[in-house]
Amino acid sequence: MMMNNKVSRRQRTRVGKYEMGKTIGEGSFAKVKLAKNVENGNFVAIKILDRNHVLRHHMKGQLSREISTMKIINHPNVVKIYEVMASKTKIYIVLELVKGGELFDKIAKNGKLKEDEARSYFHQLINAVDYCHSRGVYHRDLKPENLLLDNNGVLKITDFGLSTYSQQEDELLRTACGTPNYVAPEVINDRGYVGSTSDIWSCGVILFVLMAGYLPFDEPNQMTLFQKISRAEFTFPPWFSAEGKKLLKAILNPDPLTRIKISEILEDEWFKKGYKPATFTEEDDVNVDDVAAAFNDSKENLVSETKEKPVSMNAFELISRSQSFNLDNMFEMEQKGVVKRETHFASQRPANEIMSKIEETAKPLGFNVHKRDYKMKLQGDKSGRKGHLSVATEVFEVAPSLHMVELRKTGGDTLEFHKFYKTFSSGLQDIVWHTDSVK
C-alpha cells in the first residue's frame, strides 16, 4: 500500500470472471466482498474462506456436502449460492447480493415492529428454516444480523448451512462467546443438541426482538445470562398479545424434547393470521460439480487472482456518486437514523495526519490500535454483548490532495458500534472535508 509516503490507488483484483470490490462483511475465518461478473455485468457477494483452515480442521467433507445441498436450494427466503471456486489458498463461494440491508437496521431504527409486520417476517423466517431442515441443513447461528432484506423488503437468510465452518473447533465456546443471547439452553449447557430444535429457539428470540425492540435475555454478566437462558427466565412487555405470548412460551421452552416443532408452529392460531406458504419452483438440473472440484486436491480447476490497473475517476465525480460524502453529519447512519456497519468520509489532510488523528481519537475510548501501511484495526479492550468491538479503517488516495477514509465494523455488537461512532465522529471533525454544498 505505501510508497514514498503516499497512499496508492487500489488495484482491481480479478478472480475467474469476477472483478472483486470492497469488503462488505468480515468474520474470524472469512470475508465477504462485493464483486461484479464481467461477463454479464451482474453484482454478487463472494464469501472467501481460508482453504488451509478448512483442511486443517478436517471440514472439507462436511463443508462440501453442505454447500452442495445449499446450492440446490432455491428458496425465496434463503440467499442463493451460484457457484464455488477455489485457488491454491482460498475457497470462493459466489452468493446472491442482497441490497436492502439487515433486518437489524429496521429494529435499530424503529425500536420495535408492529405485531403484523413482525409476524410477516416470522412467516418468511419459518418458511425458510422449515425448508432447509427438511433437507438436513441447519443454521446454528440465527440472529437478526444474518437476516437480510432485498430491495422489495423480502427476508433472506444468509450463511444458512455455512455456520458450521465458523463453529467447528470448540463449538460451545465459540457459540456462547459469539452470540449467546440467541443460543438455546442445550447448547450453553453442553448437553449435546439437535440443530432443528436449537434453530427453533433462535427463531423465538428473533420474534421477541422484532416485537419488543430488545432481547428477552440480556445481562452484562455472562453467568447470569446463561442462567436466565437455561431457565427461560424472561418477561413479556405489556403490548404483546395473549396469542403471541402463548406461541413464544412454546418456542422458548428450555426443554428441547418438549419444545414446539415447526409443524406445530404452522398450525398455531397467532402464526396463521395472514400466512401464505412460500411459492417457488425448485431447479432440477443444478450442477454441483464445481463444489466437488473446489474441495478436491486436483490443481486442474483452480482459479488465480490477477491484479488489474484501476480505471481512474475524477475525484469530484467520485464524491458526487457517493451519498456518504454528503456530510451534513459525518456519518450517513446519523442522517438516516439507521445503524450502519460501515461509512466513509473525505479529507484534504495528509494521509499520515489522518492516521494519527484516528489513533489519537480511538485510544481514549478504550481501543487498541494496530497499524499496517495505511490500514488500521481498532480493537476494544472491553468485551461487550457480542465480544470485543473491532473496527477496520483504511485510507485511500483519490487525488494528490484528497483522501477517502473507509471505516467498518468487523466484530462486536452493531448497537455498541453505533454508540462508539457518536463519540468517535465528533473527535474527527477537524480532519473531515465538508463541501460547500453541505456547510
Active site residues: 141
Compute the distance between CA of residue 137 and CA of residue 150 in angstroms, rounded to an integer.
23
Q: Whats the size of the chain, residue-wise?
A: 439
Instruction: Specify whether the CB–CB gap between 43 and 31 falls below 8 A.
Output: no
Residue 120 parent element (H or E) = helix 115-134
Q: DSSP E strands: which ranges in 88-203?
A: 90-96, 147-149, 155-157
For the beta carbon of residue 352, count every other beta carbon within 10 angstroms.
Answer: 13
Distance CA 104, CA 144 (A): 5
Angle at 204 between CA 201 and CA 207, to 5 degrees: 155
Angle at 113 between CA 111 and CA 117, to 5 degrees: 165
DSSP 119: H
The β-bridge partners of 411 are 390
Is the distance from CB of 118 to CB of 136 less than 8 angstroms? Answer: no
Those residues with Cβ within 8 angstroms of residue 161's Cβ, 6 or more apart along the chain or in another chain:
66, 67, 69, 70, 132, 137, 138, 139
Rounded CA-CA distance 22/32 in Å is 9
- Would you tell me the crossing angle of helices 195-212 and 103-110 to the nearest 10 degrees? 30
Q: At what angle do helices 195-212 and 242-251 cross, to 10 degrees?
A: 150
From residue 381, alpha-carbon distances to 25, 146, 198, 384, 412 in Å are 22, 25, 31, 9, 12
